[in-house]
């Protein structure tokens, strides 16, 4: 039995890849990668740094002496300087040039941006997987007529596949936002203590062009095309707000999807996956609770709430910097990504394993379709010479009577039989029955599914899915 609190985002919900990305090991390896990039760029621009010093740094990039770094930090109360000294003890030759001209924010901020970019790419890939699973689902059920609902009251018919396209469209909007952030993501670069680059200007004897080139070189070595043109001591904290807003948007889409699945499972029309030996309730053995969708909603609410932290932090920064962002960011940024990852693991699992019950859907359609067919009946009766207002009134009376018997006595809907026997309505039972093909009431739903997938979904899948398949981590890593 473990005696201390463990974050369930790590122990229960998020995937291994995302959890590892925000580990101490990954963070400090990234710090050392940045120190190496700094030294390499400074050497290329003429500072007295040797190949041997850089090679020594590279040999120990992934061999972090954690215990020694922790021991030093307890003494000096500064995490970056503790790791500078610990790294220097491993690399005595390179020790004099490690962290040369840099500030703590140079290491921490650049590392945070690098890690957020990698994390956002994991999120993007899983969003794409969800889109792909839902695309398959939409294609399969593009022509299955079902009740549409407004206010959770029966409305005009749609199709199961058309409804799935609404879920896909939300995710496509999320993907567009994620791509924009990734494509425009800038590194902090080498800006110095208050963003003036004074220390680097001193190192290069007042050569402004070399200082500017240093900024670009470091970005290139770390896989970025650009840096922020100006900063204070830190990169603009609005970046955190912008990136986390992408995750919040994914949470919104997932929560809406989870709500829909839970409502449909109540209707017994669609169910989330349910394993052979899965237990739905400790008391009621018959139950098949939508626990995955419920968990998705729960996690989505958590992410939506913690996404408020970055904009509040950004708006409260003072001048060139204040340190009241640090503790908050250490918690909020990893938790936001871990939560998004957990949500998407559930979304992938549910969307690829949905079970549809066409007979139940058909039963619900038949219960409501007679009411929906009344407009067609009015139009056809008028074509045959009937008075529109008189027909409308007869249908209103019969509809109220049929609805009353359904609600009060649990009878089947006999509206069409009533209408066919009404002498005022010039339509027989055979003709009225022919009106009840559900596909007469779904409009362009099926065609919309085909067009939407062809024009908007397949181009996205062809752009991303094939090239990122190798990075896929199975959803079965975690208990969903």
**Encoding tokens for residue 246?**
């992408």
User: Can 398 be counted among the known catalytic residues?
Assistant: no
Going from the C-alpha of 61 to that of each of 37, 90, 268, 335, the distances in angstroms are: 11, 10, 56, 26
**Encoding tokens for residue 61?**
């990039």
User: Can 281 be counted among the known catalytic residues?
Assistant: yes
Spatial separation of the C-alpha atoms in residues 243 and 247, rounded to whole Å? 7
Catalytic residue among 20, 225, 281, 462: 281
CA-closest candidate to residue 110, choices 57, 56, 184, 35: 35
Spatial separation of the C-alpha atoms in residues 292 and 266, rounded to whole Å? 14
CA-closest candidate to residue 472, choices 178, 132, 208: 132
SS3 436: coil
- Please calculate the CA angle 40-43-45 and round it to the nearest 5 degrees: 110
With contact defined as beta carbons under 8 Å apart, do 348 and 130 qualify? yes
Going from the C-alpha of 367 to that of each of 121, 410, 412, the distances in angstroms are: 46, 11, 7
**DSSP-derived pairing of the beta strands 270-271 and 355-356:** antiparallel
CB atoms within 10 A of CB 434: 10
Cα 376 off chain centre by: 43
Spatial separation of the C-alpha atoms in residues 378 and 425, rounded to whole Å? 9
- Please calculate the CA angle 63-69-75 and round it to the nearest 5 degrees: 170
**Encoding tokens for residue 419?**
């209408």
| Catalytic residue ranges | 151, 281
């Amino acid at each position: 039995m473990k005696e201390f609190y463990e974050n369930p985002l790590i122990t229960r919900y998020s995937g291994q890849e995302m959890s590892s990305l925000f580990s101490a090991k990954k963070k400090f390896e990234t710090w050392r990668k940045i120190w190496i990039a700094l030294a390499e760029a400074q050497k290329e621009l003429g500072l007295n740094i040797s190949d041997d010093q850089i090679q020594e740094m590279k040999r120990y990039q992934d061999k972090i002496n954690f215990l020694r770094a922790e021991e030093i930090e307890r003494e000096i109360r500064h995490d970056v300087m503790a790791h500078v000294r610990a790294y220097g003890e491993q690399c005595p030759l390179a020790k004099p040039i490690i962290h040369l001209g840099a500030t703590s924010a140079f290491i921490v901020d650049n590392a945070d941006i690098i890690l957020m970019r990698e994390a956002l790419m994991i999120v993007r890939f899983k969003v794409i997987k969800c889109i792909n699973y839902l695309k398959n689902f939409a294609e399969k059920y593009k022509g299955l007529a079902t009740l549409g609902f407004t206010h959770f009251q029966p409305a005009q018919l749609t199709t199961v596949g058309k409804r799935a396209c609404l879920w896909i469209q939300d995710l496509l909007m999320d993907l567009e936002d994620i791509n924009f952030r990734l494509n425009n993501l800038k590194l902090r670069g080498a800006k110095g203590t208050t963003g003036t680059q004074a220390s680097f200007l001193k190192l290069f004897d007042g050569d402004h062009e070399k200082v500017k080139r240093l900024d670009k070189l470091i970005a290139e070595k770390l896989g970025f095309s650009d840096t922020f043109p100006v900063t204070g001591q830190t990169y603009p904290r609005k970046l955190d707000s912008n990136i986390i807003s992408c995750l919040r948007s994914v949470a919104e889409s997932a929560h809406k999807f989870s709500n829909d699945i839970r409502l449909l499972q109540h209707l017994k029309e669609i169910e989330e996956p349910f394993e052979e030996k899965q237990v739905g309730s400790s008391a009621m053995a018959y139950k098949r609770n939508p626990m995955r969708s419920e968990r998705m909603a729960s996690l989505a609410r958590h992410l939506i709430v913690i996404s408020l932290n970055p904009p509040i932090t950004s708006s409260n920064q003072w001048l060139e910097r204040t340190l009241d962002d640090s503790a908050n960011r250490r918690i909020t940024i990893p938790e936001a990504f871990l939560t998004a990852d957990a949500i998407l693991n559930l979304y992938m699992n549910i969307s690829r394993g949905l079970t549809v019950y066409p007979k139940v859907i058909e039963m619900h359609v038949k219960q409501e379709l007679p009411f929906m067919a009344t407009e067609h009946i009015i139009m056809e009766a008028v074509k045959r010479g009937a008075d529109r207002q008189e027909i409308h009134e007869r249908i209103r009376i019969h509809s109220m009577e049929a609805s009353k018997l359904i609600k009060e006595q649990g009878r089947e809907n006999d509206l069409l039989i009533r209408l066919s026997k009404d002498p005022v309505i010039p339509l027989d039972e055979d003709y009225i029955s022919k009106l009840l093909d559900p596909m007469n009431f779904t409009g362009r739903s099926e065609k919309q599914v085909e067009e939407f997938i062809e024009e908007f979904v397949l181009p996205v899948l062809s752009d991303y899915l094939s090239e990122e398949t190798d990075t896929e981590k199975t959803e079965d890593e975690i208990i969903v």
